[in-house]
Chain A
Amino acid sequence: MPSDPIIRAQGLTKTYGEVHAVAGISFDIAAGESFGLLGPNGAGKSTTMRMIGGTLGRSGGHLAVAGLDPEVEGSTVRAHLGVVPQQDNLDEELSVRDNLYIYGRYFGLPRSYLRAKIPELLDFAQLSEKSSAKVDRLSGGMKRRLTIARALINEPRILLLDEPTTGLDPQARHTLWDKLFRLKEVGVTLVVTTHFMDEAEQLCDRLIVIDQGRIKAEGTPRGLIAEHSTREVVEVRFGADRNAQVEPRLRDLAERVEVLPDRLLLYTEDGEAVLEQIAAAGLHPVTSLVRRSSLEDVFLRLTGRSLVD
């Protein structure tokens, strides 16, 4: 890494009674990097995010955000972060514009700065025409964009995004991703948690796969796929009761076969060839599909479980 990491976690732990929500994880995030925490619900992603954000103390390990310990210098660390929480917590009693204004005031920013900054952020979030609207009139995607715009009011070097597109329709997700790309281009460090593989692949330069509070793998999306999966995947369905029954006959056709409740996954370098071999073996799946390997497959490989249950 060229310079000191902007966020460094070493042996980070969070324990609730007997439960290890985060069980000793270590990672470095470089300035300007887009870093992902990928894992299923309850893996410890949000807990990690809140520890970085200085709103949750840790049970053990070391953590430095811009060189400061968020537990000791909480309000100073928070002053230099932008936070997009999992659930929107916009001020429903105020208009769109006033939400940005008062949030800036919470950082102690002067009115003159905010007067210039707010139109810029409204434009960025494509909410200029809604600036006088009450927040409860906005759609889910608009609220999310406003929450991101709000998080940028103090020009943070680091933006923490907890499940930024959960609950949004595909179009709203793409709009949001576009906004995040632009932030990345100007050098903002993005830390993103997600349980969507496509989101992690789209947004993250590098990511860690977390399950049950532990890091299962670390790398670039492409690197993880190359390391833990094959180039292509064949998905075949034989009907719920037949999938497991057919599996022994397919085992030799691919490098690896996974039996899921509703389908079989065959990992291979050449999907079409495998599909032909299946037909040649006299097996006729109800449906079949050849696709590229994704992070979902990596996750399945590493944990034996699928990412979205």
Chain B
Amino acid sequence: MTAPMQPSAPRRVRVGARPVLERGLMVSRRSWLVVLSGFFEPLFYLLAMGYGLGGLVGEVTGAQGRPISYAAYIAPALLATSAMNGAVFDSTWNVFFKLRFARLYEAMLQTALGPVDVALGEILMALMRGLLYAMGFMAVAASLGLVTSWWALGMIPVALLIAFGFAALGMAATSYAKSFQQMDIVGFAVLPMFLFSSTLYPVEVFPEVVQWVVKALPLWHGIELMRQLAVGAVSWASAGHTAYFLAMSALGIWLTARRLRALFLR
């Protein structure tokens, strides 16, 4: 049956991240229901907070300095948050399971795949989900009249960038986790970030020290960037927020590849 190859010098092999992505798509075809639920979550927030709470709040000042509806104020923030949530879930709990129990990465790294291929493939897979959520949410937000600028089209790639940053860093952090208890820290990090990163009200309500803390955290940068795009108030600050996520993504991939190498290719 299997004919042995001629004993010639083996050729060099570079596979890349594509097969890792392909595997992710094969598996996610079987779990479309989970994917669908992630789309409704920000939508429910938008309806409950934007229109429910928004009725009490009235109008607030938007990124351009002009008054906008409360729903229009929180919609970009919810998009940023949903990009974060999708990416964090995929890159922490899912990765933890594959790392510690399914021994998936061990199997992958005994093939021609390298650690960077695996890290990049898994992170890109988390992005695909983020892309679906972002497009669905944008369609709804636009149909409700909550976006007022063509710049808003940029919110989809920015959702991807936010997801990339969180997925990369989330996977890196997960590679250090050894138990389920340690994984609970993920929820502990994500929920306060959602509550305090100016998602539902401006960051200026806090004392200055707290403001600096919030502004150091990634979600705030994502939300600011989204708000600026939603009304077309793009500036050098937007470039700064983008740079924050580019750096976060690069750091995450580098750390993840390093950890996978340490765990499986010592």
Contact = CB atoms under 8 A, between A and B. Distances in A.
Interface of A: 3, 6, 31-32, 53-57, 66-68, 73-80, 83, 85, 87, 89-94, 98, 102-103, 105-108, 120, 124, 152, 154-157, 182-183, 186-188
Given A102-B19, A108-B19, A31 B7 contact: yes
A90 B110 CA distance: 12
B178 interface: no
A239 B237 CA distance: 86
Contacts of A154: 112
Contacts of B106: 85, 89
A159 B3 CA distance: 13
Nearest to B111: A106
A155 B1 CA distance: 10
Contact of B13 (A76, A102, A182): A76
Contacts of A188: 2, 4
B66 interface: no
Contacts of A75: 13-15, 112-114
A56 B4 contact: no
B10 A79 contact: yes
A79 B26 contact: no
Contact of B3 (A78, A83, A155): A155
A66 B266 contact: no
Contact of A83 (B16, B20, B103, B110): B110
Given A91-B104, A98-B26, A155-B3, A78 B19 contact: no
Contact of A186 (B4, B15, B27, B107): B4
Given A92-B102, A105-B19, 15 more contacts: A53-B110, A55-B110, A56-B265, A76-B11, A76-B13, A77-B10, A83-B110, A85-B106, A90-B107, A93-B102, A102-B19, A108-B15, A120-B1, A124-B1, A152-B2
B30 A93 contact: yes
Nearest to B7: A31
B23 interface: yes
Nearest to A117: B2
Interface string B222-266: 000000000000000000000000000000000000000000111
Contacts of A53: 110
Contacts of B26: 94, 98, 102
A49 B195 CA distance: 51
Given A79-B10, A94-B26, A106-B19, A183 B102 contact: no
Best-surrounded residue of B1, B19, B108, B113 (most CB of chain A within 10 A): B1
B5 interface: yes
B42 to A, nearest CB: 27
A75 B11 CA distance: 11
A102 B22 contact: yes
Nearest to B18: A105
Contact of A93 (B11, B27, B112): B27
Best-surrounded residue of A75, A155, A156 (most CB of chain B within 10 A): A75
A273 B76 CA distance: 93
A154 B7 CA distance: 15
A85 B15 contact: no
B103 A78 contact: no
